[in-house]
Amino acid sequence: MKPVTYTRAQALPAILKHRIAILDGAMGTMIQRFKLGEAQYRGAGYFGADGAGDRFKDFPRDVKGNNELLSLTRPDVIRDIHQAYLAAGADLIETNTFGATTIAQADYDMADLAREMNFASARLARQACDQFSTPDHPRFVAGAIGPTPRTASISPDVNDPGARNVTFEELRAAYREQVEALVEGGADVLLVETVFDTLNAKAALFAIDEVFESSGERLPILISGTVTDASGRILSGQTVTAFWHSVRHAQPLAIGLNCALGAALMRPYIQELHKAAPDTFISCYPNAGLPNPMSETGFDETPEVTSRLLREFAAEGLVNIVGGCCGTTPAHIGAIHDAVAPLAARALRPGVFYRETVAEPA
């Protein structure tokens, strides 16, 4: 495969080679801390110039829980979360766009707002990164591309194995709109994350390639799958190794795992990925352990526990990017940053996927 030259985030490959980079933590956990009600999700009480005003005051259905809408109605909330993660030491922050596709937004009758949500979310993250970036410590916007609530590989009807509630073409079109808006809004990299169905991910990667071909720009791609249980497989049935071989054609800058499991349960699958992809950077951002409704974050691991486990990953030479998924907070990210900072990044075997397209850092 031909080497790839990136038009953005040119410094990121060299950074990943020389130190472990820090991804941010959960968005939903942090939003829950604001205890927003239906009126707040519609923008009531926010008087910032970048808010939506009364635009959604009379929207005909409930929108509480539509976190992506907050990029339009309560940008102050999303901005505060980004800033908290950056202050904790994050190198990359994800846009508030996990569910910002026409397919996911259809559940709220807001499919027509998907492009606007992606652009606004990318701009918020861009502004936060620009605020915290320095020549010695650049920060990067990761355009978050979630799996959608539908699956192209699995039937939603146990009585009809051939049934599907979404097509590859529908996914491709939805993802293309999302990618275009993320890039236009200022994303540095694109993160296809929480992959539970590889066919959905392939639709996202196809759409990304279409955007790259039409624009002439090529951004780094990060891909992160989700092992759903102790079977060691993603929901659509692939092992971690099989998943990697299904997406490696996209030449991602990093391949990794996130969500569903805490770090302790994720470890054997990161070890498997480490062996399967020796010439590609590895990312890992687990949940803060298992769900625990009695805890402040809804998950059972404290920052000290999560950071200790990820330090063990780093000490074993397994990772280049670490962060947190569900239940993690800026306190978790700060602890992870401090825990892995003294340790070396995972070394790569020279191959076709890692591209030294930028100068080595001093």
At 306, give phi and psi (nearest 5°): -60, -45
Q: What is the mean pLDDT of residues 94-120?
A: 98
At 300, give phi and psi (nearest 5°): -95, -10
**Rounded Cα distance, 298 and 291, in Å:** 6
CB 150 within 8 A of CB 103: yes
**Rounded Cα distance, 320 and 22, in Å:** 9
Instruction: Say how many Å lie between the first and final Cα of the chain, rounded.
Output: 29
pLDDT at 297 over 80: no
**Rounded Cα distance, 199 and 221, in Å:** 17
Question: Which tokens sit at 313?
Answer: 């990953």
pLDDT band for 360, please (50, 70, 90 cuts). Answer: very low
CB 264 within 8 A of CB 255: no
Q: What is the mean pLDDT of residues 6-23?
A: 96
262's CB contacts (< 8 A; 6+ apart) are 286, 287, 288, 289, 290, 299, 301, 306, 309
Distances (CA, A) of 290 to 14, 57, 76, 112: 34, 37, 30, 35
pLDDT at 359 over 70: no
- CB atoms < 10 A from the CB of 272, how many? 17
Query: Phi/psi zone of residue 258: left (φ > 0), alpha (ψ -120 to 50 degrees), beta?
Result: beta
pLDDT in tens, 212-265: 999 999 999 999 999 988 889 999 999 999 999 999 999 999 999 999 999 999
pLDDT band for 358, please (50, 70, 90 cuts). Answer: very low
pLDDT in tens, 38-85: 999 999 989 998 999 999 999 999 999 999 999 999 999 999 999 999
pLDDT in tens, 112-138: 999 999 999 999 999 999 999 999 999
pLDDT at 339 over 60: yes
pLDDT at 312 over 60: yes
Q: Across the beta sheet with 281-287, what order do the strands follow?
A: 21-22, 321-322, 281-287, 254-262, 221-225, 189-195, 140-145, 92-94
Average pLDDT of the chain to the nearest whole number: 94
pLDDT at 337 over 90: yes
pLDDT at 315 over 70: yes
Question: Which tokens sit at 46?
Answer: 């926010």
pLDDT at 1 over 80: no
pLDDT for the residue 34:
95
pLDDT at 194 over 50: yes
pLDDT for the residue 277:
97
pLDDT for the residue 77:
98
Angle at 360 between CA 357 and CA 362, to 5 degrees: 155
